A = this chain, B = another copy of it.
Amino acid sequence: MNIGDVAQKAGLPPKTIRYYEDIGLITPLRDTNGYRVFRESDLHKLAFLGRARTLGFTIEDCRTLLALYEDDTRASADVKDLAQAHLAKIEDKITQLESMRDTLSNLVKSCAGDNRPDCPILSDLATGQH
């Protein structure tokens, strides 16, 4: 398989796949013409990576997850710990964003949105007073 095929199948752009090789997440073979040659196992890893990234794991987390995946002597506790830590970060981010959303939506509601200059959004930003 060439990079285009595997990109299609894994649902990742070729650029991303080359990048993953660069940082050592995968090591496809090479044809005599210099083209990358992907085995099934490479495709499998790429799909794994794609899903892990979709769940928001960092690249370094993905590296660890791949390593755990390939180690039959792993303890599931290690995977769970990683996932739990990541989950906690996501929950923090959600909380943060929700707070932004609440403030912003109040401000938006309170703004007339007409052609006059008076604007509670700007007043709030200027003074920090709600």
Contact = CB atoms under 8 A, between A and B. Distances in A.
Which applies to chain A's interface (DSSP): helix, strand, loop or mixed?
helix
B100 A90 contact: yes
Contacts of A115: 75-77
Contact of A116 (B51, B75, B83): B75
Interface in A56-89: 56, 65, 68-69, 71-77, 79-81, 83-84, 86-87
A9 B97 CA distance: 25
Contact size class for A?
35 or more
Interface of A: 44, 47-48, 51-52, 54-56, 65, 68-69, 71-77, 79-81, 83-84, 86-87, 90-91, 93-94, 97-98, 100-101, 103-105, 107-108, 111-119, 121-122, 124-126, 128
Contacts of A126: 44, 48, 69
A50 to B, nearest CB: 9
Contact of A87 (B68, B71, B104, B114): B104
A65 B100 contact: no
